[in-house]
Amino acid sequence: MKSLLYTLTIACTLGLLAACSSGGGGSESAESTVDLTKNTPKGQASVVDNESKANILQVAIGSPDHTTLVKAVEAAGIEHVLVNAGPLTVFAPTNAAFDKLPAGTLDDLLKPENKGKLAEILTRHAAPGSYDIEDLKKEAAKGRKLYMATGDYLDVTTEGDDVFVNGVKVEASIYTSNGVINVVNDVILPK
Amino acid sequence: MKSKFMVLLSLVALTLLGSCNNGSSKKKSQGALSGNVAERVFVAPGEHDEFYGFISGGFSGQLSVYGLPSGRLFKVIPVFSVDAEKAYGFNEETKPMLMTSHGFIPWDDSHHPDLSQTEGVIDGRWCFINANNTPRIARIDLTTFETAEIIEIPNSAGNHSSSFVTENTEYVVAGTRFGVPVPQRDMPIEEYKGNFKGALTFIKVDQETGNMDIAFQILMPGFNYDLAHPGRGKSHGWFFFSTYNTEEANTLLEVNASQNDKDFIAAINWKKIEEYVANGGGKKMPTRYAHNIYSDDTHSATSTMKTEILTVEPTDVPGAIFFLPTPKSPHGCDVDPTGEYIIGNGKLAAALTAHSFTKMLDAIENKKFDGEAYGIPILNYDDVVAGVVQQPGLGPLHTEFDGRGNAYTTFFISSEVVKWKLGTWEVVDRKPTYYSVGHLMIPGGNSRKPWGKYLVAMNKITKDRYLPTGPELCQSAQLYDISGDKMELLLDFPTVGEPHYAAGAPADLIAPNSKKFYKLGENNHPYKTLSEKEARVERKGNEVHIYMTTIRSHFSPDNIEGIKVGDKVYFHVTNLEQDFDVPHGISMIGANTSELLIMPGQTETFVWEPKQPGVWPFYCTDFCSALHQEMQGYVRVSPKGSDVPLKWSLDGE
């Protein structure tokens, strides 16, 4: 925070010097460089609310089986999406699911330079709308595919009582205030 | 931290500008920023205001909620007028709130908000406000910011010296402005004098629920009771009402009610009258008045017509009521935080009069009377007056206090706020208002504990203050910093309707109690639907009841058939969300009413009487979610006598 203010001061100073040398508009830039909006970097994920039913992010944070997912969501910078009004359906890979990835894959994705790639992979696990296991069975019965937030379509199939998305079995549905979490034991990868 | 940083930035900027010295930046920086004014009212995006301001909506009939010092409008709470945005007075649940002995009334003129107090300090529980035209008092619950209760005041007209609370919210009072026959009857207007009455009503407030109940009504002479304030501290137990038209004129009052050199402030010892009533005193009189209560349990209001009121004749309680002569039609009647001074703002007077409570008690004890009016003793002016503020301005209206020994009075004609000292009566500062100020408000400024940082002046006229909007212009509020010796105008913002009085309180007193949503498990609405499984449609003759739910992002059911022309269709809609800030709306094509705006956990009802066969859509009117635009449905309407069966579904099920 302090360093941000410091940067701001430097920027302000430089701006003024530049205005000075060009010989005009000095006072105007003095007003415009003071941007207090930058002092309050907030988002919906920081809303304090202990009364509402828990949202997708809050449920995930509370789940000991999803610590890797939560870490990945934060690294990808998509935490605000998971508290949005939605409604959203999130297929939430367990820690065990991430462990199945080839060695080094996750560590690589968590690197800052791969933020965009990680966000893309995670976003492929989110669909607009609320679909629990029963809804997914209906999708399968009607031959519908599931449209994901990345624009991909996932195949929805059934085998006996079980439901699969792109071949990954849906273990359980958890209801949240802004949608549904479907627990999966594999990371859903593009076909 | 932030302000320190701002100072640093300003210093850097100024130094650089100074060294620049090429004449390009002369006057420009002498604006609001360099004067530090903008920073003092700027609440950065995402940050909160320090105070709530509850500003009356005047002829809008509502109460608006502002943040101070920013002047940002948060909510307009519908109170005495219908509000299509919130379905207030349109949905079946809130229609009873606007019932009166005259039937359903869709409008009123709201005047004087006052906050509940405990031991003379604002406590943040409730806000009371009066309807001036068809006399009523409303109570707003400050956990939901909704109108929780409205009680009608019988035998009253122009309910203006209202709705002020005693220092433990024992009573909220409502005084009549217009003298009227009590009980109402057919009689010649010119027989007003001596025959009309002025009712002062004391409404008991239940300390647990806040529910109001008229305790007694004092039938005073038919003067005009203009404004009022309770005693506090040493004068707790008394109430003071200003009067004008002690001439009892019934026509051309602008001339005929300005004849007497002095009118009165009526001093009422309500504790004495309370005791008199508790011992069986007073007379029960048949009357009719509505008492309307909204329940957060059933999400519905009920209206009960009451038929009796307890009245008290002033002469039946000797020693309880006195008149304090006060120059020239006093308007505002304000009591300082210590309870010692009662300020009469004689709107036509050249000076402001402060009465002394101590001297008043002494004058009563030693019977220093100067005659009587209708059997009520008039105290001798010189024996009660504490001091006079000479030549303070023109047209004094209202006074508030900062808790540091200063009083602030508004002057309508000279359009200014004047600061003066209690006790020495000297004027110490004056600042213009733009234009023609009426009321003013300091948070807690009419209590024992003012938060004397800001003053809000409320103006009647704005003329050139904002971009013009045709002949009809807004009224305005102006914020002054009163923390220093001199007042400083910081901000100028438009208001909703004409702001009469306002009330303010530190945000910390109220914000933590603000409700986030209603719990579904506590919903006791008779037509609730607690899950999609319970959603259904029932027919009873030509009445059809739709038990509907909403959740992101669909209605259940969303396809309904078997409705016929001539049916009366009730949409009972329950919002199943249990999440903060996720209301859903609903509206039906051709419904002769407003939308519903349903908070999470709430049930609301609107009625639709289809007139034409066809397939008619409805939709969610509040942008609830990413799939809001998909939140819609259809009702099939068949001709009268058709045998299309009643049927409903969601996704074919």
pLDDT digits (tens, 9 = 90+) for A50-96: 899 999 999 999 999 999 999 999 999 999 899 999 899 999 999 99
Separation CA B330–CA B344 (nearest Å) = 6
Separation CA B563–CA B540 (nearest Å) = 12
- Residue, of B28 and B107, whose pLDDT is higher: B107
Separation CA B147–CA B413 (nearest Å) = 35
pLDDT digits (tens, 9 = 90+) for B213-259: 999 999 999 999 999 999 999 999 999 999 999 999 999 999 999 89
The number of C-beta contacts closer than 8 angstroms across A and B is: 101
Position A10 pLDDT exceeds 70: no
B155 min Cα distance to partner chain A (Å)? 46
Tell me which of B3, B9, B623, B630 to substitute to probe the interface with A (most A C-beta atoms closer than 10 Å): B9
A31 vs B: CB within 8 A: yes
Shortest CB distance from B44 goes to which of A36, A52, A130? A36
Within 8 A of A27 by CB-CB distance, chain B residues are: 17, 25, 28-29
The lowest-confidence range among A5-19, A136-150, B459-473, B612-626 is A5-19
Question: What is the band of A16 on the pLDDT scale with cuts at 50, 70, 90?
Answer: very low
Q: Report all structural domains of chain B as residue ranges with CATH numbers, in order of start.
A: 58-513 (2.130.10.10), 520-649 (2.60.40.420)
Report CB contact under 8 Å: B625, A87: yes
Question: What is the band of B349 on the pLDDT scale with cuts at 50, 70, 90?
Answer: confident
pLDDT at A47: 86
pLDDT at B20: 41
Residues 6+ apart with CB under 8 A from B7: none
Question: What is the band of B75 on the pLDDT scale with cuts at 50, 70, 90?
Answer: very high
If you write DSSP's letter for every residue of B195-242 in order, what string do you get?
A: T-EEEEEEEEE-TTT--EEEEEEEEEES-EEEEEEE--GGGTTEEEEE
A2 vs B: CB within 8 A: no
pLDDT at A42: 67
pLDDT digits (tens, 9 = 90+) for B140-158: 999 999 999 999 999 999 9
pLDDT at A9: 40
A137 min Cα distance to partner chain B (Å)? 14
pLDDT at B17: 42
pLDDT digits (tens, 9 = 90+) for B295-310: 999 999 999 999 999 9
Position B21 pLDDT exceeds 60: no
Separation CA B551–CA B313 (nearest Å) = 58
pLDDT at B82: 98
Helices (H), B225-356: 253-256, 270-278
Within 8 A of A37 by CB-CB distance, chain B residues are: 44-45
Domain boundaries, chain A: 2-39, 54-184
pTM for the structure as a whole: 0.89
pLDDT at A41: 54
Report CB contact under 8 Å: A85, B625: yes
B305 vs A: CB within 8 A: no
Question: What is the band of A48 on the pLDDT scale with cuts at 50, 70, 90?
Answer: confident
Report CB contact under 8 Å: B13, A20: no
Within 8 A of B23 by CB-CB distance, chain A residues are: none
Separation CA A12–CA A5 (nearest Å) = 10
Shortest CB distance from B552 goes to which of A9, A37, A86? A86
Q: What percent of chain B has pLDDT over 70?
A: 95
Within 8 A of A25 by CB-CB distance, chain B residues are: 24-25
A84 min Cα distance to partner chain B (Å)? 8
Question: What is the band of A180 on the pLDDT scale with cuts at 50, 70, 90?
Answer: very high
Rg (CA), chain A: 22
- SS3 label, residue A80: coil
Question: What is the band of B28 on the pLDDT scale with cuts at 50, 70, 90?
Answer: very low
Position A31 pLDDT exceeds 80: no
pLDDT at B77: 98
Report CB contact under 8 Å: B12, A24: no
B520 min Cα distance to partner chain A (Å)? 11
Closest chain B residue to A33, measured at CA: B9
Position A18 pLDDT exceeds 60: no
Position A4 pLDDT exceeds 60: no
When pLDDT is averaged across residues A103-121 and rounded to a whole number, the result is 95
Q: What percent of chain B has pLDDT over 90?
A: 91
Q: Quick one: how far is CA A76 from the chain centroid?
A: 7
When pLDDT is averaged across residues B400-427 and rounded to a whole number, the result is 97
Question: What is the band of A140 on the pLDDT scale with cuts at 50, 70, 90?
Answer: very high
Q: Is the domain A54-184 a CATH 2.30.180.10 member?
A: yes
Position B8 pLDDT exceeds 50: no
Position B468 pLDDT exceeds 80: yes
| B559-564 and B632-638 strand pairing | parallel
Position B292 pLDDT exceeds 70: yes
Question: What is the band of B25 on the pLDDT scale with cuts at 50, 70, 90?
Answer: very low
Neighbouring-strand partners of residue B569: B544, B608
B626 vs A: CB within 8 A: yes
- Residue, of A21 and A137, whose pLDDT is higher: A137
If you write DSSP's letter for every residue of B498-564 in order, what string do you get?
A: ----EEEEEHHHHGGG------GGG---TT---SGGG-EEEEETTEEEEEEEEETTEEES-EEEEEE
- Residue, of B544 and B25, whose pLDDT is higher: B544
Tell me the CA distances in angstroms from B81 to B58, B61, B155, B343, B472, one per residue in order.
11, 5, 22, 33, 20
Position A126 pLDDT exceeds 90: yes
pLDDT at B422: 98
Taking all residues of chain B, what is their mean pLDDT, rounded to a whole number?
94
